Structure 1
Amino acid sequence: MRSFGYYWKEGFRNIFKHGFMSIAAVVIMIICLLLTGTVTLIAYNIDLSIRTLQQSNQIVVFIDESLTTREAKALGSQFNQIDNIATIQFESRDEALEAYRIQLGEDADILDSYTSENNPLRNSFIFTLTDATQAAQTIEQIEAVEGVANVRADEVVISKLVQVQRVFNVVSLAMVIAMALISVFIIANTVKLAMFARREEISIQKMVGATNWFIRWPFVIEGMVLGLLAGGLAFFAEWGLYAELVHVADGVIPYFRIVPFEELRWLVLSVFLGAGVLFGIGGSVTSIRKFMDV
């Protein structure tokens, strides 16, 4: 217990004793966490928005005129057996005509001659898909149902959205990995500089018989405290930066859904604190090996 108290005391003493290096390490960790966290959050939001756009892309299925409205509506049971369909909405000929009147607004009088008896529109189903990448296969299954006259789907739009999603996922993943590697590299070199400044202190401790872990523990605690401090400060900085990004995105791309930071704050806080501790302890432990005969 006494040794444990000594480790904490020495760990905090080292932080203040080498104040410049401690500040440098914290600042670098904050910058790296901000860069990596911001890229990850942007990637998450864009990926979520693309998925939303994909699922909102509708497929309209027109039913053969020979079927009555009741018979057309009964086809819904067959469509429900298709796995990739997220939602199904039936629109009768009369509902479609009324919706068309509303759409025309002041010009709706041109449809006054059309009634339920001479309605030129068809009964239809409106689908949204669970997985837009399987659109072509799903459309084939829909067309195979007897009674389907025509399928209207913006397959080109769906295909483009899928391509954009795949490309962005690859690019964002590469950016996150690159930022993480840069973070580890910079932090490790910063800690190495701090260890180099203390090499004489470590040598003296080794000469008087101190064990390797007796020497390591204060540095481990120092790295953990600096990591927690950096993670906490980076979290609040990310919160402010994210709020600004949301404000900018709402003006530029208002149709994109930006997840409120309040829904992500506990996850971001835990990740930042965990990453800060991991980088701090990992950098301390790996860097001090150079100055010890282990």
Structure 2
Amino acid sequence: MKKSKSSGSSLGYLTKEGFRNLRVNKLMTFASITVLFSSMFLMGIAFMIYTNIEAMVAGIEQENVILVYIEDDTDAVEVVNLKTEIMNIPNVKSCDFKSKDDAFEEIKKEYDNAEYLDGLENPLPDSYIVTVLDMTQFSQTVAQIKGLDNVMRTRENSDLAGKLASAKKAISVVSLVIIALLFIVSLFIISNTVKITMFSRRLEISIMKSVGATNRFIRWPFLVEGVLIGIISGIISTLAIWGVYTLGMRFLSRSFSIMGKGVDITVYLPYLLGAFLILGIFTGIFGSATSIRKYLKERKFVELEDL
């Protein structure tokens, strides 16, 4: 019982030392947080740019629909059955009915001299407005719809669909490559920053070893320090991305109407914070553990004149 209590108090003391190290080594703490923050911030901004481009492409995709015109002599039951058959096609996302009367009224609203259309027989057929799930299968979906009974014809823009599918794929690949490169470069920079931090504190480690401190006793405060730096960096990065993104989208939406309001960042904030905390804690622990190992293995103590 005493041993457990003693180990608990010892662990508490070492944890407090980790907190104290942040205050004592202010310059290196600031440098580590700055490097980690910069890396996370760039990755977060790159991710939000990617999500906005994806949303813009998806919005254009929604406008690229398939208009399915129904044969004039089709009865009500067959019209309902046709919708069921269209929805049974795997790539179909939605299928909305538009009556010939509604379509004719829309044309009247767009036509400047709508009064000339009054009294004329409605030449338009009933139709279904179909959206798809995967634009790469757009042409195949159109062919399947054309093969159904009671379909007079379809109207669509297959060329635009193909270009959108290619653009979406290219954007995804380029964005993921950029984020991956930023991640790799960030790990490299962060690991070197941690090594510099440990190198600057090798005398401190050597003194603790010279007075008989165990490796666990020496290592624990550094691990706590690494975790705290990771957590602080993750929180600051998330807040900074939220602020910069909100202001940036506000400016862009005023300058470029095509941008709209952009993707709602509050949806992604919990995921960004979680990812940054995991990355920060992992980097802090891994960087501290691997860097301090070298100095824990050294048998020769560092002398003041060696610094």
**Same fold by TM-score greater than 0.5:** yes
Among 34, 45, 54, the alignment partner of 1:38 is 45
Q: Is residue 244 of structure 1 aligned with residue 247 of structure 2?
A: yes
Q: Indicate conservation of the 8 Å contact 2:87/2:93, yes or no.
A: no
Q: Indicate conservation of the 8 Å contact 1:60/1:126, yes or no.
A: yes
Q: Is residue 110 of structure 1 aligned with residue 116 of structure 2?
A: yes
The residue aligned with 2:31 is 24
Change (3 A) 1:177 1:55: same
**C-alpha deviation, 1:256, in angstroms:** 4.9
**C-alpha deviation, 1:153, in angstroms:** 0.9
Q: Is residue 235 of structure 1 aligned with residue 205 of structure 2?
A: no
Aligned residue for 1:75, secondary structure, equals: helix
Change (3 A) 1:141 1:256: farther
Q: Is residue 267 of structure 1 aligned with residue 271 of structure 2?
A: yes
Gaps of 5+ in 1: none
CA displacement, residues 176-227 of structure 1 (integer Å, 9 cap, x when unaligned): 1111112111111111111111212222333444332221111001111111
The 5 Å alignment of 1:1-294 reads 1-67=8-74, 71-72=78-79, 74-104=81-111, 106-115=112-121, 119-251=122-254, 252-256=256-260, 258-293=262-297
Q: 2:146 & 2:170 partners in 1: Cα distance?
A: 30
Q: 1:247 & 1:197 partners in 2: Cα distance?
A: 44
Gaps of 5+ in 2: 1-7, 299-307
- TM-score by length of structure 1 reads 0.90
Q: 1:85 & 1:215 partners in 2: Cα distance?
A: 62
Q: Which amino acid aligns with 2:116?
A: I
**C-alpha deviation, 1:98, in angstroms:** 2.1
Aligned residue for 2:95, secondary structure, equals: strand
Q: Indicate conservation of the 8 Å contact 1:64/1:147, yes or no.
A: yes
Q: 2:155 & 2:213 partners in 1: Cα distance?
A: 78
**C-alpha deviation, 1:238, in angstroms:** 1.3
Question: Which piece of structure 1 moves more, 39-48 or 154-163?
Answer: 39-48
Aligned residue for 2:94, secondary structure, equals: strand
CA displacement, residues 58-86 of structure 1 (integer Å, 9 cap, x when unaligned): 11012234545664454223223222212
Q: 1:45 & 1:236 partners in 2: Cα distance?
A: 19
CA displacement, residues 39-96 of structure 1 (integer Å, 9 cap, x when unaligned): 1122122223322322332110122345456644542232232222122122233332
Change (3 A) 1:111 1:230: same
Change (3 A) 1:75 1:124: same
Aligned residue for 2:258, secondary structure, equals: coil
Q: Which amino acid aligns with 2:216?
A: W
Q: 2:277 & 2:52 partners in 1: Cα distance?
A: 22
Percent of aligned positions that are identical? 36
Question: Which piece of structure 1 moves more, 48-57 or 176-185?
Answer: 48-57
Aligned residue for 2:216, secondary structure, equals: helix
What stretches of structure 1 move > 4 A for 4+ residues in a row?
Answer: 68-74
Aligned residue for 1:146, secondary structure, equals: coil
Q: Could you say what the CA RMSD is over the residues aligned between the two structures, in angstroms?
A: 2.1
